[in-house]
Amino acid sequence: MIQYKTLDTFYNHQGFNPHQHIEKFVSDEDYNVLLEQFPDDKLFKDEKPHTRKHNQRPHVRRFMCVTTQKESPYFDNFIVNVNDLPFVWQTLIAELQSKEYKEWICDILQINDFKLRFDFHRTQRGLDVSPHVDSVGKYASHLFYFMPKGWKEEYGGRTIFYKDKMIPEMNPEIKNFKNSMSYPVTGNCSLLFKNVPEGWHGVTEVKSDKLHRQLFNVIILK
């Protein structure tokens, strides 16, 4: 299912999170089955936090997660059993817990060990993720894009990286950065990025009337 890649440009983005956009990390055949069997919306719950650190805008979406260790009580309402997922998703999650994936991640991130949580997001029209830096307990995120059939790049929902913040406040908006960069989200692609102290990133506004942004996120934790 997984096709490991050498990430030659991961650390080549000065001022941005170290990252690399990866084509076909999952074989096309398996990707198509995973997309067709993306978990049913009934497994998701609305995530509508009232506040966010530093008075940043809350990140609103449909959310669920699979975890193999004790998590913050915050996640209790969103945790699902891996056995409730379609078998093809159980298979992918098992491969992502393999020795091969662990060694690949440790080599790229230059770490010795980590824990995993598996998050699923669905985001509807008009929603985005405001610029933020991840918590210190996170090493990295490995995003797998599963945009529904018919999704176009102009529908937004891109992961976007920022640098050169022009204000001292910790709740900036897009206009408060001099530079940004993002990548396509359509097709069989993923994006691995490392958490760093000035690693500002977010998600561009979703602009599709009928289709939701669909994402599978491997959270790599300390």
Q: Output the 3-class SS for 40-93.
A: CHHHCEEECCCCCHHHCCCCCEEEEEEECCCCCHHHCCCECCHHHCCHHHHHHH
User: How much of the chain, in percent, has pLDDT values that exceed 90?
Assistant: 90
What is the pLDDT, as a whole number, of residue 74?
A: 85
Q: How confident is the model at residue 57 (pLDDT cuts 50, 70, 90)?
A: confident
Unique residue bearing structure tokens 């995003």:
143
HSE of 104, CA atoms in CB hemisphere, 13 A: 16
CB 9 within 8 A of CB 20: yes
Please tell me the predicted confidence (pLDDT) of residue 55. 80
pLDDT tens-digit series, residues 73-113: 888 999 999 999 999 999 999 999 999 999 999 999 999 99
Q: Are 48 and 58 in contact (CB under 8 A)?
A: yes
In the three-class reduction of DSSP (H, G, I as helix; E, B as strand; rest coil), residue 6 is classed as: coil
Q: Is the pLDDT of residue 180 over 90?
A: yes
Q: What is the mean pLDDT of the chain?
A: 95
pLDDT at 56: 81
For residue 51, pLDDT over 80 is answered with no
Q: Which token pair is 108?
A: 């790229």
Token pair 């050169």 is at which residue?
Answer: 164
- What is the per-residue pLDDT for 175? 96
**Domains of the chain in sequence order:** 19-221 (2.60.120.620)
Helix, strand, coil proportions of the chain in percent (round to 5)? Answer: 20, 30, 45
Q: What is the pTM of this model?
A: 0.95
59 — pLDDT class (breaks 50, 70, 90):
confident
Give residue-wise pLDDT tens across range 128-147. Answer: 999 999 999 999 999 999 99
**Residue 213: Cβ-neighbour burial (10 angstroms; 0-12, 13-18, 19+):** buried
Q: Which of 26, 56, 43 is nearest to 201 (CA)?
A: 56
Residue among 111, 142, 132, 118 at smallest CA distance from 222: 111
Q: Is 187 helix (H, G, I), strand (E, B) or coil?
A: coil
In this structure, which long-range contacts are made by residues 64-70, counting pairs with CB atoms below 8 Å and at least 24 apart in sequence? 64/39, 64/119, 64/120, 65/117, 65/118, 65/119, 65/120, 66/93, 66/117, 66/118, 67/116, 67/117, 67/118, 68/97, 68/115, 68/116, 68/117, 69/115, 69/117
